[in-house]
Amino acid sequence: MTKKQRFKHVMDWFEENAESAETELSYTNNYQLLIAVILSAQCTDKRVNMISPHVFEAFPTPEIMAASSPDEVFEYIKSCSYPNNKAKNLVGMAKKLVSDFNGEVPSNIDDLLTIPGVGRKTANVMLSVAFDLPAMAVDTHVFRVSNRIGLTDNSKSPLETERELVKYIPERLLAKAHHWLILHGRYICVARKPKCEICGLRQWCKYFQNNPTIHEPPW
């Protein structure tokens, strides 16, 4: 099977079986989404969704957050991972939105990457989720699943993975494929023991092909 064929089979399966995949973060506007994505770094979406409503209520606009302090923001996010750094980044993010972007989240990657707390993954999440643009954000799930299935050839970095996925996935599917791979990694192709027995991608998966009897169905 060629790589192009594997990509087609995998994307076709996802399109047929997981058409409605979307972010599990809760938000109502792009500013809130950016807050949630910054908070989600090395933190579960479930935890972020517990924290973020209080943040949104206390800091409903970039202007209000920009006028606050990291210590003030910290009190609302201290139960998430790395709260000190994230509090500083959130205030810095708000100040940048106010000073450079009229309080609006920009819609191109170069501008997004100038915002505190926004790396390439976060920028691509914003492009695909907030603006429905063809971008591929690579987090730990996307990185692991892509290598394990065989969509990438043991890529060594998220950027390498991103470039490979963008090369082979049709542009119209990129924004959805980001969620497909994340959710597949979160619930099926988990890190320690992938649930191959319930995975619909087995017949095209390099990992399963190399370990055909390890995770056979129990029936």
Please identify every residue annotated as catalytic.
Answer: 121, 139
Question: In the structure encoding, which two tokens stand for residue 65, read together?
Answer: 């957050």
Rounded to whole angstroms, the Cα distance separating 73 from 97 reads 17
Residue whose structure tokens are 């990992």: 207
Rounded to whole angstroms, the Cα distance separating 172 from 51 reads 33
Residue whose structure tokens are 């996935």: 169
Rounded to whole angstroms, the Cα distance separating 84 from 75 reads 10
**What count of other Cβ atoms lies within 10 Å of the Cβ of residue 212?**
10
Q: Are 78 and 120 spatial neighbours (Cβ–Cβ below 8 Å)?
A: no
